[in-house]
Chain A
Amino acid sequence: MQTDAHFIIGQTHAAAGLPCQDYALTGQVTGGTFAIVADGCSSGGRTDVGARLVTQATDQALRFSPQAVVPARQVLMQASQRMLNLNRTDMLATCLYAQTHDDDVTVHVQGDGVVALGRADGQILAGLFEWSRNAPAYPSYADDGFAAFKAFYGDEPNPLTLEWWSVTPTGAEYLDTVRFGLDEAVRGITLDYRLAGLDRVAVFTDGVTQIDGVDWTDAVRSLLAFKTRQGAFARRRMNRFVRDVSLTGRGPLDDLAYAVIITEGTDHDA
């Protein structure tokens, strides 16, 4: 399996002289591969650091504690925060990852963003995670058992939604919306699929939904339309995508990160 990841700074942060608060990486372990993205909270502290830490902690948890990734990640994050004298506000970052193991793939989402499962026939099943008050549950909120976060959402019954879309080479069709209660949502949502029939699995930060003048489903389609699937294929695709949209004066308003696992299929998409 081939993997690649890339992240870029959005126009808003670039104009404000702020660092990119998204991060992405991929890796391989015995029996599988993984892809991770993280998005630091813009109103937090040094969340560019936090996003990298949560990504790296997830990387290590996937390698060394694959049966209990989230608790292992939490331990690593808390230890890192203490050792590096970081504030709680520095650690506020979402995290999405996809992990293949044998014939299956698991996707885990804590926060918001997009997951995409691509088929060899060109269809992409894309899922958009959104929180009703635009305040996602960050993994680091587990330090108080999500007590403050739950208090913020109060009695709201289903604050997290997952909107499924079918994205084809020519368009996109809404399929369904799944709603999650607060208790389930804060723990993170886990989705399991069989790899058979899939040729691409990707996770995106929510920056993919904030590209000026480009619908998020179109962005997902473009960003997964790899010309080759070798080397820095995702980085090249994103660079080309950003150049193309910038020709019309548009571009990513927010930081954008994605991480991709190529599971099978031909070398060329288009």
Chain B
Amino acid sequence: MPKLASTTATFAGTKFTYQAARIGDLGATEYTLVTIAIDMTGSVSGFESELRAMLIAVIDACRRSPRSDNLLVRVLLFSSRFQDVNELHGFMPLAQLDPASYPVFQTGGMTPLYDATFNAIGATVDFGNDLSANDFLANGIVFVITDGDDNTSTATPAMVRQLLETTRRDERLESILAILIGVNAARYQAQLDGFAREAGLDGYRDAHDATPQNLAKLARFVSQSISSTSLALGTGGPSQTISATI
């Protein structure tokens, strides 16, 4: 994979690190920053390969989009096993991705859901602001896919909300959407709904059980949402309420 630039940013006293393509290497004038954060905690054991297949399906679908040249994609895995998040790769042009080389997912550890959400949104905002400062037009969409509630974060829902509200007031990033998705998470519906509400996310969607069919639907939802968001770039606001459903 090509060399990416590593950045450490801070928001509300909390640091997070991410990698991204060098701005000088980018060929388009506008980008949608896509982040997919996937739960790799112990409870995901048993369907981690299906989640990997879902991720690859999303990447492949995005490659077929007419807006594929205007997407930068970051993929990260989260679990208390990792010091921060495990970034499979930072924000990279689709053409440079090789999803077949994504490692086999290993599960274990507890669920730093709030930390992962904060990192995913924070990196999107920070890099988006950097792009904007360099005359690029940028918007962002973040997907956080989990099977359970948080049990080990230092970040809080209030911090995530503050980050989103600050970003939306600032308007350097044209828009940002953050969607929480539950897989095999029926028993945590109330907690995940509550987190999405408290954190000011753009909703919680239940993808139901982790069957191949449901995860295929999830892949379609994610890729269609990315496409809608990318098409909205330049209109001054987020995409219309994402009409795709899981």
Contacts and interface: CB of A to CB of B under 8 A. Distances in A.
Nearest to B29: A236
A232 interface: yes
Interface residues of B, number: 13
Given A235-B29, A236-B29, A239-B29, A228 B23 contact: yes
Most buried by A among B27, B136, B137: B136
Contacts, number: 33
A65 interface: no
Interface string B145-173: 00000000000000000000000000000
A240 interface: yes
B135 A240 contact: yes
A227 B135 contact: yes
Interface residues of A, number: 14
A231 B25 contact: yes
Contacts of A231: 24-27
Nearest to B22: A230
A227 B27 contact: no
A227 B133 CA distance: 7
Interface string A240-270: 1001000000000000000000000001000
Nearest to A241: B135
B28 interface: yes
B7 interface: no
Contact of A267 (B24, B30, B135): B24
B24 A236 contact: no
Contacts of A235: 29
Nearest to B236: A243
Contacts of A230: 23-25
B134 A228 contact: yes
B24 A237 contact: no
A239 B28 CA distance: 12
5 contacts: A227-B133, A231-B25, A231-B27, A239-B135, A239-B137
The 3 A-B residue pairs with the shortest CB-CB distance in the complex, in nearest-first order: A230-B24, A236-B135, A227-B134
